[in-house]
C-alpha cells in the first residue's frame, strides 16, 4: 500500500530545512548502505546524527505526531530518526530493497522496517529526473511530490530513484516499525478507519452504527497489533 501524506511540513519548515541543508557538509551516501545497496547507490547524504540532521529530524517527527493521516496509515510503533539525501549531476539509486532491520549508529536503537518514507524537500520544478519508482503486486508506481509532501510504501518493495539530470533532488528518508507488521492487515485497518471517519462526518460520532464499526476496528487492532 502506497499512501501520499500531503503537507507534512509547512512552507516555513521546508524553508528552514533548505537553509540548514544549504549550510551543511555532505558525505557519500554509501556511509549508511548495506553491501547490495552500495552497488546501486550514487548520492550524497548528511552524516547520521549530525546537528543538522537532528534539527531537521525533530521538525519532521513533531509534524508526523500531529498528522492523523500518517498515524492511521502507519500505526507507528517506532520511527527511525530521519536521514537526508541529495541527488544531482546524474546521481541515482538503482533497484534495491531496504534492509529488514535498521540500527541507529552508536546506539542500541533498532527497528524492523515495515514501512519506508520519503519526504520531498525540493519542488518538482527544481530538478529533472529523481522520480521514486516503487514496484508492487499491482505494478510500478512513480512519485515526485511537492516539497513538504511525503509518501509511505512497504519497505519490502523493490524501488529505485531515477537519475537527476538537472538541479538537485533533496529529501528526507526513514523507516517505520508499525504496530501491525502485515501490509494487508494494515491496509484493511486503514480502509476501515477511512470509511468510519467518512461516515462519522455525515452521521456524527454518536451514531450507533459508527460506534459498532469503531468497535470492529479496535477489535481487529487488538488481534493484529504487536507492542
Sequence spans of domains, the chain: 3-178, 183-224
Q: What is the pTM of this model?
A: 0.93
For 145-162, how does the pLDDT look when each residue is reduced to its tens digit (9 = 90+)? 999 999 999 999 999 999
CB within 8 Å of 15: residues ≥ 6 apart: none
Percent of the chain residues past pLDDT 70, beyond the cut: 96
Provide the Cα torsion 186, 142, 139, 157; round to 10°: -50
For 19-74, how does the pLDDT look when each residue is reduced to its tens digit (9 = 90+)? 999 999 999 988 765 556 666 889 999 999 999 999 999 999 999 999 999 999 99
Task: Please tell me the class of the 183-224 domain.
Answer: few secondary structures
**Domain 3-178: CATH superfamily, name plus number:** q2cbj1_9rhob like domain (2.60.120.620)
Amino acid at each position: 500500500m502506497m499512501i501520499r501524506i500531503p503537507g507534512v511540513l509547512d512552507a516555513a519548515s521546508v524553508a528552514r530545512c533548505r537553509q540548514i541543508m544549504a549550510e551543511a557538509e555532505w558525505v557519500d551516501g554509501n556511509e549508511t548502505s548495506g553491501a547490495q545497496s552500495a552497488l546501486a547507490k550514487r548520492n550524497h547524504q548528511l552524516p547520521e546524527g549530525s546537528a543538522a540532521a537532528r534539527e531537521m529530524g525533530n521538525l519532521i517527527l513533531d509534524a508526523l505526531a500531529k498528522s492523523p493521516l500518517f498515524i492511521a496509515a502507519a500505526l507507528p510503533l517506532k520511527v527511525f530518526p530521519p536521514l537526508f539525501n541529495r541527488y544531482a549531476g546524474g546521481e541515482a539509486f538503482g533497484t534495491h530493497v531496504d534492509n529488514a532491520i535498521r540500527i541507529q549508529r552508536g546506539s542500541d536503537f533498532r527497528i524492523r522496517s515495515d514501512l519506508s518514507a520519503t519526504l520531498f524537500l525540493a519542488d518538482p520544478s527544481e530538478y529533472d529526473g529523481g522520480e521514486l519508482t516503487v514496484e508492487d503486486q499491482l505494478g510500478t508506481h512513480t512519485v515526485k511530490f511537492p516539497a513538504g509532501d511525503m509518501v509511505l510504501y512497504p519497505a519490502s518493495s523493490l524501488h529505485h530513484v531515477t537519475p537527476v539530470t538537472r538541479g538537485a533532488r533533496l529529501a528526507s528518508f526513514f523507516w517505520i516499525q508499525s504496530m501491525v507488521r502485515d501490509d494487508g492487515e494494515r491496509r484493511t485497518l486503514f480502509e476501515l478507519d477511512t470509511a468510519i471517519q467518512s461516515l462519522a462526518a455525515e452521521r456524527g460520532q454518536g451514531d450507533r452504527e459508527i460506534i459498532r464499526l469503531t468497535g470492529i476496528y479496535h477489535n481487529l487492532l487488538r488481534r493484529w497489533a504487536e507492542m
